[in-house]
Amino acid sequence: MNMTWDVLTIMGTIAFAISGAIVAMEEEYDILGVFILGLVTAFGGGVVRNLLIGIPVSTLWEQGLLLKTALLASLIVFFLPIKLIQRLNKWVTFFDAIGLAAFAIQGALYATQMNHSISAVIVAAILTGSGGGIVRDVLAGRKPLVLRDEIYAFWAMLIGLVIGIGKVTEADTMLLYTLFGAGVLFRMLSVFYQWRLPRRSLHSVQKDVS
């Protein structure tokens, strides 16, 4: 399980760091901004999760290898040729999907290890999987993806539910990888087929009233 945990964590860290760095460059931030968005995207969800389920936030500073990995990934993106970055930009959604699935699983497993309820496991999965993206979008002056009508955090919620009810445990290595793959696949399918959650708008009502 340790190997599975490490692989998912590294995959999520790299994917989210790349996503944050690309968004920063889209907004024409300098290299410091690229580093900051790369780091907050990779670690923001985990910090919020730790606050809610009782893990000391200071544990973040114990993840030296992951911090260096996120910084290195952001630095590599910054110095890539512009044409290659523009191509990578088309894959931001895919990187987001990898980070979402990997960190949702990580967050859910954290919560189950601490014997939290199913609802807490689901919340931990959602926050860990999408929290970093929310912080990234806010810092970039964008409307957070998770709050739009796209199906995004929903997949993290399902991952948390599957782990919370005990269908997949930390000992089930192959099932964890299968769950990870399913999370990435369904996130990408929801983008490709433009699946949407229900929403209501007040704009049309205001126009009718005026």
Three-class SS of 67-129: HHHHHHHHHHHHHCCHHHHHHHHCCHHHHHHHHHHHHHHHHHHHHHHCCCCHHHHHHHHHHHH
Helical (H) or strand (E) element with 45: helix 31-53
Please tell me the least confidently modeled range out of 29-33, 66-70, 81-85.
81-85
Range with lowest mean pLDDT among 23-37, 45-59, 88-102, 163-177: 45-59
Of 14, 188, 34, 18, the residue nearest 102 (C-alpha): 14
Q: What pLDDT was estimated at residue 210?
A: 52
Would you say the C-alpha torsion 81, 86, 90, 96 has a positive or negative sign?
positive
Find the range with the poorest average confidence among 1-10, 85-94, 155-164. 1-10
Mean pLDDT for the stretch of residues 67-74: 95
User: At residue 6, does pLDDT exceed 90?
Assistant: no
* Secondary structure of residue 196 in the 3-state scheme: strand
pLDDT in tens, 98-156: 989 999 998 999 899 889 999 999 999 999 999 998 999 999 998 887 777 668 889 99
What's the pLDDT at 59?
A: 79
Predicted pLDDT of residue 162: 96
Range among 8-17, 92-101, 157-166, 200-209 rated most confident: 157-166
Confidence of residue 4 (pLDDT cuts 50, 70, 90): confident
**Cα-trace Rg, the chain:** 17
Q: Which residue has the higher pLDDT, 96 or 155?
A: 155
What's the pLDDT score for residue 183? 95
Nearest CA to 148 out of 79, 80, 197 is that of 197
Q: Band the pLDDT of 91: cuts 50, 70, 90.
A: confident
pLDDT digits (tens, 9 = 90+) for 34-43: 999 999 999 9
